[in-house]
Structure 1
Amino acid sequence: MSPVDVTTPSSGTGGGAKIVGSGVGEGPGPEVMAASTLDDTKVITSDGEDVGKISDIMLDVEGGRIAYAVLSTGGFLGMGNTLHAIPWSALTLDTDEKCFRVDITAERIKNDPGFDKNYWPSMADAAWGTSLHKYYNRTPYWRATRDVVEDRPSDFKDI
């Protein structure tokens, strides 16, 4: 696998997370990874605050896409945590620091009411998803992914 180009991360309008860093890690990746290897990865905001860890990665099963990462904030030993859905395209995987970066301040995440582990929102609801993507200034993944697939590099078109 070729190293990741840290000088030209994607614009964030596509359906995927960006990758920065040397691209060197243990095992496969960073371009293709097991979702479970990303659990408990810390999330750093644009103002440099560690706001929590990824607890889940949510898949759009019918569409075959990653929809959201779930950030767990606060609490102690899993008790009292608040969960926040983050559009996958709003994240940047930093392979050097072994964390995700999100282009939003810690204050904005803290002001987002989030949800409780026992009362999840209906993530398949287009109105909920559109509102969430707007909060993170991202194109909804179900719209953005279509363009990414159509614009794939030529070496994938013959597959």
Structure 2
Amino acid sequence: MSYTPARAADDLQTGVDAIEASRVNGTKVYNTQGDSLGHIYDVVIGKRDGKVRYAIMSFGGFLGIGEEYHPLPWEVLKYDERQGGYVVGLTRDQLEGAPRYGEANRPSWNDEAYGRRVSDYYGVAYY
């Protein structure tokens, strides 16, 4: 059996509930009013259970300078096929107060206190 990479047309399929992580990166994130908030920069996956823990959203900055990264618990994201991106029930002001980090101070994903702070902020259970 051989592997055939997905074609660009596969991105347009509706109703599909699986996606390669490499295609998630770069996907736009919108609020419920349709305003663009940023894009998915990366995802954090549990090593042992394989579940996606966070989508790291790039927010702010200009041309990659001054960007901040917001770990969003995966369960706060809803994919919207019409917009071709993820929707979160957050305002820009709420994101300004959310846990975030810069390129030079990445968190330890093993730090339970940090994980709980992120979960508490978004009102979801800590994994």
- For normalisation by structure 1, the TM-score amounts to 0.67
* TM-aligned CA distance change 1:131 to 1:97, over 3 Å: same
Q: Given that residues 47 and 106 in structure 1 are in contact (C-alpha distance below 8 angstroms), is that contact kept between their aligned partners in structure 2?
A: no
SS of the residue corresponding to residue 43 of structure 1 reads: strand
- Corresponding position: 1:41 with 2:31: no
Percentage of pairs with the same residue: 30
Of the structure 1 ranges 77-86 and 40-49, higher mean CA displacement relative to structure 2 is found in 40-49
How do 1:21-60 residues align onto structure 2 when only pairs under 5 Å count? 25-26=11-12, 30-60=16-46
Q: Following TM superposition, where does structure 1 have runs of at least 4 consecutive aligned residues deviating by more than 4 angstroms?
A: none
Q: How does 1:5-154 map to 2 (within 5 A)?
A: 25-26=11-12, 30-112=16-98, 114-140=100-126, 142=127
Amino acid aligned to 1:72: S
How many equivalent pairs are there?
A: 118
Structure with higher RCO (Cα < 8 A, 6+ apart) = 1
Residues 118 and 34 (structure 1), Cα distance of their counterparts in 2 relative to 1, 3 Å cut: same
SS in 2 for 1:115: coil
Residue 111 (structure 1) shift: 2.1
Equivalent residues of 1:30, 1:95 under 8 A apart: no
CA distance in 1, matches of 2:119, 2:56: 14
C-alpha distance in structure 1 between counterparts of 2:110 and 2:15, whole Å: 28
Q: For residue 114 of structure 2, give the secondary structure of its aligned residue in structure 1.
A: helix
Letter in 1 for 2:72: I
Root-mean-square deviation (Å):
2.0
Deviations 1:9-44 (A, max 9, x none): xxxxxxxxxxxxxxx953697311101111111111
Q: Contact conserved, 2:71 with 2:99, CA < 8 A, in 1?
A: no
What TM-score, normalized by structure 2, do the two folds share? 0.82
Alignment correspondent of 1:151: none
Give unmatched runs, 5+ long, in structure 1: 1-23, 143-159
Gaps of 5+ in 2: 1-9
**Counterparts of 1:29 and 1:70, CA distance in 2:** 24
